[in-house]
Structure 1
């Protein structure tokens, strides 16, 4: 055994040290390796060894393999820290798929990481690869190449054996990602969450959801008595006026009028902060609570793309509704092209139906969505309509848009503080949302059958500089359920969790439904 073997030996040891030191850069920072449960320590060391050994087999250069393994770990750390800062949640096992999404939909992700940093990192990676192959000779070019290969294979086998032995012994996860990362460390935390994704969703409570009252079968309900239903999931919407009292009340005039007349309205408890729209979306449509979803609460649509569950769209379809989703983004994003037919939607209108001229800011404007809904309502036949709208206009990154000073002067007492231009951009988009609501209300009011308009925000927006100056909101958004005349005086005002909104709307529909042949 000569130079090549010992290079591999020392590179392996150093890779374990580097991996452990790099973890100190994580936010939140894991507890020291020696303070973790024994299984977590073993999984960390085995994972780091296996990662290094994999790259050693690929590039055949131990020091270059060390650099690659350390660099990839640093990428995860940087992404984790960016996510923790923006979304108050660390990197998850399910987030690996977002690396592919970042290539397909770069505008949604790259600006939060930093466009300049992304370009610099890509160039540095390409240069490093070229230098690595040039500077370091192949391990298998030495006389002890068979020993080097044998040593690498032993590393792979030993690390794999330790993982198979210790992964089932990892402590149970709390499904509070910040706590689990601190307690277990990066590698064991990712492994633990990944293993949980193999478990199915607990559908126990869902079996009886969205069912008509006892004694009333769906086929007994007269479709002519059913209202058209428009439910809007408004991107990054929350009412900012109480959080920032300088914002003028007149900003959301149409919204206020609808809330005043709404059957039910209030603050909305959502399972997401700043992003992860599908968490709120799934809760509303299916009624699943985070506890029932388990680890799938972080991205439920992987399961729902193949798993049939009771949900609002499917229940309304059984009542005779024509079910439509309108979302001005590719239907393949978040697997909606597979999930939504499985939920019972007849039609999915995605970005292909919209023109670039209909953008307002970076994405399709809310007024374009209102126009699509109005056309659907005007063309409705004897079947009632359920239209689920997923907006995009308010989606960040808001700092990529140029703030209009006149907007700040009009809607904020004293104007917007320097450095808080994101708020100006956000308020302009909220005005468009308000105009959309006015148009939807008018369309439902003028229709030939009763109408219900549901509305909610999926999460608060990402505005880190604004929050640093004015404080963070509490994460609640807002919702309302409005119905065309007659409007009763016993309107409900209450905070509602996202998993109760869909069933509440369904119950309101059933309450006003009539039986076939009834006078």
Structure 2
């Protein structure tokens, strides 16, 4: 009886903890009944399994509630930085945070992370020390009986609540309809569907010509000058100049905000909009190896090109070491090739990356497609320091207090602008046909700056420049999934 009472108490507390989610969820009685059934079922199943394994009712309660609280805090941190709640596909980031802590934990907050570690550790020690182990916890006559009943009840509720649910995959709408636990479940089940597409790639007359291709996905690249009039116009002087000469340029609608670079990578390479991906829109690479997606790299390789990806970060991140060969890349050059390269901040400098790319084209013996994913401007920006010299060089007049992240960002953005100029000048001097595409994957995470200066729309910017282009440049708004077809048409 005690275990059942503790489980009921925990269920109520789990609903209470979800009131801390931001933005707030509707009250549970406003959820679809399936959402309530899934929430109660997941709680009973999880608590029943913990109770069976641990034999301590209160300790099991504490662990289950601590996990719920962890998910709430992580979801709130993600929403603050990325305007999106935690979804099932984000569970992968827990292991990524262990392997790459600097990329993730600062957005939760080192203080909050330390507090979570202390509280969880204290709860574990207190639970093991203060609550005695139940006798015969695996026996039906002992603690095992209520645990088994709770687990079976939870499984029954999951069976009843599961049904044939078709989420919208708009997290805000689905959370409001189903609740947090049910959304995690439904998104997890939906991921079992394969990532497939019947889309045939459009004809690519440029590839038939054998001209080289260089594509740079510039980390967090966008034009921040509309945010604040005091940003010096020459921060993007080179980008502006190339855009005025380019075949195509303009604002770019991208499927990511602040992070989730792979969403933008996949949109460019596959030519597929997020609406065609179902649940795979959140991380297309999780299901990519079982997909039949046709990519620009496959198309280029079939036309006789050597295809190379250059990304100065571990190739295993986001499974790129396995996904990119599947997408048609002959070679992946990762951080191992940049051991002695200069850094700007914690990451390989964009100018060092430009030198590596120029070397690839200088040595090419066949048409070459190089896809570059930069890292220099990757956050967290607030871990870097800005100086009075930076402010003087980047603004006139200086911005209001609280814009330090913007100053750090602009310092890196100026280097990205320099990289674009170096690559354009190199391609122009070679005297060989080449096209050069540059775009930003998403806007940067600068929550404090956006509170001060206003939030951008989320568009980035792009250009497609051709060494032999004739005719008037076209300024055209595009969606990222349309960009590759424009590049090779």
TM-score, normalised relative to structure 2: 0.97
The answer to whether the Cα contact below 8 Å between 2:341 and 2:352 also exists between their aligned partners in 1 is no
Which residue of 396, 403, 409 maps to 2:386?
403
Q: Which residue of 2 aligns with 1:112?
A: 107
Q: Which residue of 2 aligns with 1:273?
A: 257
- 2:444 aligned with 1:477: no
Counterpart secondary structure, 1:328: coil
Distance 1:212 1:480 in 2: 18
- 2:241 aligned with 1:247: no
Cα displacement (A) at 1:406: 1.3
Distance 1:142 1:232 in 2: 59
Distance 1:145 1:308 in 2: 50
Cα displacement (A) at 1:210: 3.9
Distance 1:310 1:149 in 2: 52
Which residue of 303, 326, 333 maps to 1:342?
326
Distance 1:73 1:142 in 2: 25
- 2:227 aligned with 1:282: no
Which residue of 422, 446, 458 maps to 1:439?
422
Cα displacement (A) at 1:356: 5.4
Distance 1:305 1:364 in 2: 29
Cα displacement (A) at 1:143: 13
- 2:406 aligned with 1:423: yes
The answer to whether the Cα contact below 8 Å between 2:249 and 2:464 also exists between their aligned partners in 1 is yes
Larger radius of gyration between Structure 1 and Structure 2: 1
Q: Which residue of 1 aligns with 2:486?
A: 504
The answer to whether the Cα contact below 8 Å between 2:136 and 2:144 also exists between their aligned partners in 1 is no
Distance 1:490 1:254 in 2: 19
Which residue of 165, 180, 203 maps to 1:211?
203
Q: Which residue of 2 aligns with 1:9?
A: 4
Q: How do 1:30-429 residues align onto structure 2 when only pairs under 5 Å count?
A: 30-140=25-135, 146-170=141-165, 172-204=166-198, 206=199, 208-212=200-204, 221=208, 225-355=209-339, 357-381=341-365, 383-429=366-412
The answer to whether the Cα contact below 8 Å between 1:93 and 1:193 also exists between their aligned partners in 2 is yes
- Range 368-377 or range 403-412, more displaced: 403-412
Cα displacement (A) at 1:357: 4.9
TM-score, normalised relative to structure 1: 0.91
Distance 2:49 2:24 in 1: 26
Cα displacement (A) at 1:152: 0.9
The answer to whether the Cα contact below 8 Å between 1:306 and 1:339 also exists between their aligned partners in 2 is no
The answer to whether the Cα contact below 8 Å between 1:331 and 1:350 also exists between their aligned partners in 2 is yes
Q: 1:9 to 1:503 in 2, by over 3 A?
A: same
Counterpart secondary structure, 2:290: coil
The answer to whether the Cα contact below 8 Å between 1:203 and 1:309 also exists between their aligned partners in 2 is yes
Q: Deviation per CA, 1:318-351, whole angstroms, max 9, x where unpaired? A: 1111110000111111111111101110100001
What's the RMSD between the two structures over aligned residues?
A: 1.7
Distance 2:51 2:69 in 1: 18
Distance 1:139 1:145 in 2: 12
Distance 1:38 1:254 in 2: 57
Cα displacement (A) at 1:169: 4.7
What runs of 5+ residues in structure 1 fail to find an aligned partner?
1-5, 508-519
Cα displacement (A) at 1:490: 2.1
Counterpart secondary structure, 1:482: strand
What runs of 5+ residues in structure 2 fail to find an aligned partner?
none
Distance 2:102 2:143 in 1: 45
- 2:19 aligned with 1:24: yes
Q: 1:142 to 1:164 in 2, by over 3 A?
A: closer
Counterpart secondary structure, 1:305: helix
Cα displacement (A) at 1:499: 0.4
The answer to whether the Cα contact below 8 Å between 1:283 and 1:498 also exists between their aligned partners in 2 is yes
The answer to whether the Cα contact below 8 Å between 2:34 and 2:178 also exists between their aligned partners in 1 is no
Q: 1:70 to 1:142 in 2, by over 3 A?
A: closer
Distance 2:239 2:48 in 1: 59
Cα displacement (A) at 1:164: 1.9
Counterpart secondary structure, 1:231: strand
Distance 2:270 2:150 in 1: 46
Distance 1:65 1:124 in 2: 15
Cα displacement (A) at 1:249: 1.1
Cα displacement (A) at 1:417: 2.0
Counterpart secondary structure, 1:273: coil
